[in-house]
Amino acid sequence: MISIIKSLHRLIGQNGIRLVPSILLSVLDSVLNSCMYGVMLFVLIDLSNGQFSAEGLKTCIIAAVIIFVLRCIVQGISFTQAQCVGPDVSHKLRISMGNHIRSLNLGFFTKNSIGKLSGTLLTDINDFETIITHCLCDVIKVTSLTILSLVIAFMLDWHVGLAVTLLVGIALPLLVISGKVSARNSDELREANRTVVSRIVEYIGGMRTFRLYNLIGKRFDRLDNALKELRKQSTKAEISILPLSMSFSAITAMIVPVSLILGTWLLTSNEINGASFLLAILLAISISSTMTVVSSLYPQVRSISKAADSIISILDESPLTYQEKEVKFTDYSIEFKNVTFGYNPETTVLHGVSFSAKPGTTTALIGPSGSGKTTIVSLLARFWDVTGGQILIDGIDLRKINPDVLAEQMAIVFQEVYLLKDTVLNNIRIGKPTATKEEVIEAAKAAHCHEFIMAMENGYETMIGEGGSTLSGGEKQRISIARALLKDAPIILLDETTSSLDADNEREIQHAFDRLMKNKIVLVIAHRLNTIVNANNILVLDKGRIRESGTHAELMKYGGWYAQMIEEQKQAEQWAVKA
């Protein structure tokens, strides 16, 4: 319970003070509920003494009505207060987590699936909101009500109070133990849930491929197996706590019979009067009912505790560090100094890479798949931090630059383009959120998007399917290029920018880049060498090392790997023509 309170304090933060009135009102509600027993005792004593009168009845009714009205007011204010705080806390928590996740390197996303992250951002935070809006006040209420009821039971007769306290004392440890058993199983259950979410996302996203290969329905083993595992873990979680739950229910069910038997013995022994006997039975019924509520609340609290742990585990991930002081750039020149990098400690994918790039120059990265081209671009964008060496921009170590400031200096065209389920206009405007429609259209024309956009039903206001599902590969890539042109950043990173375009568009877009990216630093990744012949510097990569570097003419004269690649491509093109 202490760990739950610590988690609450950390995640709620300064909003905790806003919950104090709700907590105090929950305690007050329990006190008012206990006051009702005082009214009952007054009635029962007068009845047993034969002194009950109309005036006494009137007084009791007025007192009961006042208590009822006060409880309604207190509960209403407490509930409203919690309902206002809960959504606000979850909103701020999601924003905070979103900003935090954005500051992490891509290694975080490698070890955390989409299902886990979406589950934490949606389900776990919803669960955490539940503890604020519902569970917290209920827990305070049932706890204080149980304590007050036991105190009143002791005041009536210590025998009854002791008997009920012993039964409660035996039942609660069983509940705690069942919670710990459930917690052990809940980790596996939550992981099974996240796997199912990931598999469903995978299944829907790959529906075209799965239908072509007849892998729909039960034939898609990955989803089917995930669902079976979820069923298995759900059953295991329920069965594991069944004996403890049944024992808890049996003991709490004994509270009323034990109180009745003990009360009858005390009554016949003249230890208590009839009024005290009846009130003791009512208290026993109340405590038994409260314990039933506790048994339903405790698993929720334990589950929500796991949700809080999941949220905290993400917030505890170390973000990319940087210096707080403002950075001023002059020429944005890039320098890799003996850069070494590995995605994990066991594997090194870049070995001592060194090169520089000046404004107004294009650096081409070529080489076979897995040679390190994309890794170099990713390191420059600081998706990862280098293992060894330095990457400098304008002589400043990348790790000293605020990631937000760094992002403003770069425009990136990825090999795989991600598009939002939004209008074409807003998808291009991602490059510059403040851009006017005219600026967007100008960038689209430069990227040769304008014609196919205007051919759409609503032009620039046409909604694009999720992930760009309604567009071809070439159309998506040109929209990505339009984003980069619109951003007008000093550093341009191009990953396979023309691989999905026809020859005419490839040539025209290359002309657009030549015109619009003058005096900028451009890094191009390409498998087709004819797109980088005019580069100022060509880096030939192989197995994470730079094998050759220079201009096209220099490398052809050298007669090494680059010249061999050019010759092989010419032969392949001649073979294709003859075929």
Say what the pLDDT of residue 218 is.
53
Rounded CA separation 488/442 (Å): 12
Q: Pick from 285, 40, 295: which is nearest to 160 by CA?
A: 285
Does the residue 415 lie in any domain? yes
Rounded CA separation 180/178 (Å): 5
Q: Pick from 537, 536, 526, 535: which is nearest to 569 by CA?
A: 526
- Both 43 and 84 in a single domain? yes
As beta bridge partners, residue 364 has 524, 538
Beta-sheet pairing, 410-413 with 491-495: parallel
Does the residue 155 lie in any domain? yes
217: left (phi over 0), alpha (psi -120 to 50) or beta: left
Cα pseudo-dihedral 277, 283, 284, 286, rounded to 10: 150
Give CB contacts under 8 A, 24+ apart, made by 548-553.
Answer: 549/355
> Residue 440: CA atoms inside 13 Å, Cβ hemisphere, count?
21
Helix (H) or strand (E) holding 338: strand 334-341
Rounded CA separation 288/68 (Å): 22
Which among 291, 315, 339 is the end of a domain? Answer: 315
Q: If DSSP codes are grouped into helix, strand and coil, which group holds residue 392?
A: strand
- Both 234 and 371 in a single domain? no
* CATH code where residue 74 lies: 1.20.1560.10
Higher pLDDT, 491 or 447: 491
Rounded CA separation 363/521 (Å): 8
- Both 449 and 552 in a single domain? no
- Both 161 and 276 in a single domain? yes
Task: Please report, for residues 117, 161, 262, 294, the alpha-carbon distance to residue 268 in angstroms, rounded to integers and kept in the order given.
Answer: 65, 18, 10, 34
For residue 170, how many other CB atoms are within 10 A of its CB?
14
- Both 172 and 285 in a single domain? yes
The DSSP annotation for 397-410 comes to EGGGS-HHHHHHTE
186 neighbors 203 (Cβ within 8 angstroms): no
Does the residue 364 lie in any domain? yes
Give the chain's mean pLDDT.
81
266 neighbors 160 (Cβ within 8 angstroms): yes
Higher pLDDT, 203 or 529: 203
- Both 351 and 416 in a single domain? no
Higher pLDDT, 541 or 289: 541
Cα pseudo-dihedral 160, 162, 164, 167, rounded to 10: -150
Rounded CA separation 561/543 (Å): 13
Beta-sheet pairing, 396-397 with 350-357: unpaired
Query: 69-120 pLDDT, tens per residue?
Result: 998 898 888 888 888 888 888 888 888 888 888 888 777 777 777 667 777 8
Does the residue 502 lie in any domain? no
Does the residue 501 lie in any domain? no
Query: 398-417 pLDDT, tens per residue?
Result: 988 888 888 889 988 877 78
Q: Using the predicted structure, report yes or no on whether residue 512 has a pLDDT greater than 70.
A: no
Query: 471-490 pLDDT, tens per residue?
Result: 877 788 888 888 888 888 89
* CATH code where residue 572 lies: 3.40.50.300
Give helix then strand counts, H and E, for the chain: 22, 10
What is the domain extent for residue 423?
410-488
- Both 283 and 355 in a single domain? no
- Both 404 and 423 in a single domain? no
Beta-sheet pairing, 334-341 with 396-397: unpaired
Rounded CA separation 253/243 (Å): 15
What pTM does this model have? 0.68
Rounded CA separation 332/355 (Å): 14
- Both 416 and 553 in a single domain? no
Does the residue 498 lie in any domain? no
Q: If DSSP codes are grouped into helix, strand and coil, which group holds residue 307?
A: helix
Rounded CA separation 210/220 (Å): 8
Q: Using the predicted structure, report yes or no on whether residue 359 has a pLDDT greater than 50.
A: yes
Q: Which residues of 532-547 are buried (b: 16+ CB within 10 A; e: fewer)?
A: beebebbbbbeebebe
Q: Identify the band that residue 577 occupies on the pLDDT scale cut at 50, 70 and 90.
A: very low
Question: What six digits make up the tokens of 417?
Answer: 């383009």
Beta-sheet pairing, 362-366 with 350-357: unpaired
Does the residue 497 lie in any domain? no
Which among 488, 504, 529 is the end of a domain? Answer: 488
Say what the pLDDT of residue 386 is.
92
Question: What six digits make up the tokens of 498?
Answer: 């023309």
Q: Using the predicted structure, report yes or no on whether residue 219 has a pLDDT greater than 90.
A: no
Say what the pLDDT of residue 24 is.
86
Q: Report the number of distinct structural domains present in the chain.
A: 3
Q: If DSSP codes are grouped into helix, strand and coil, which group holds residue 493?
A: strand
Does the residue 216 lie in any domain? yes
Rounded CA separation 111/91 (Å): 26
150 neighbors 161 (Cβ within 8 angstroms): yes
- Both 37 and 150 in a single domain? yes
Share of the chain above pLDDT 90, in %: 13
As beta bridge partners, residue 362 has 522
* Residue recorded with tokens 């052809």: 556
Cα pseudo-dihedral 356, 357, 359, 362, rounded to 10: 170
Higher pLDDT, 248 or 13: 248
Q: Identify the band that residue 579 occupies on the pLDDT scale cut at 50, 70 and 90.
A: very low
- Both 44 and 192 in a single domain? yes
Q: Pick from 497, 482, 501: which is nearest to 365 by CA?
A: 497
DSSP 8-state assignment for residue 215: -
Query: 29-68 pLDDT, tens per residue?
Result: 888 887 877 777 677 666 666 666 777 778 878 888 888 8
Helix (H) or strand (E) holding 578: helix 561-578
Query: 380-399 pLDDT, tens per residue?
Result: 988 888 999 999 999 999 98
Strand order across the 396-397 sheet? 350-357, 334-341, 388-393, 396-397
Cα 154 to chain centroid distance, Å, stands at 49
Higher pLDDT, 271 or 541: 541
Cα pseudo-dihedral 28, 32, 35, 40, rounded to 10: -160
Q: Identify the band that residue 532 occupies on the pLDDT scale cut at 50, 70 and 90.
A: confident
Say what the pLDDT of residue 515 is.
63
Helix 16-49 vs helix 2-12: crossing angle, to nearest 10: 130
Say what the pLDDT of residue 221 is.
75
Lowest mean pLDDT across 72-81, 216-225, 308-317: 216-225
97: which residues sit within 8 A by CB, 6+ positions away?
Answer: 120, 121, 125, 311, 314, 315
Which among 282, 315, 348 is the end of a domain? Answer: 315
16 neighbors 22 (Cβ within 8 angstroms): no
- Both 209 and 250 in a single domain? yes
Higher pLDDT, 538 or 566: 538
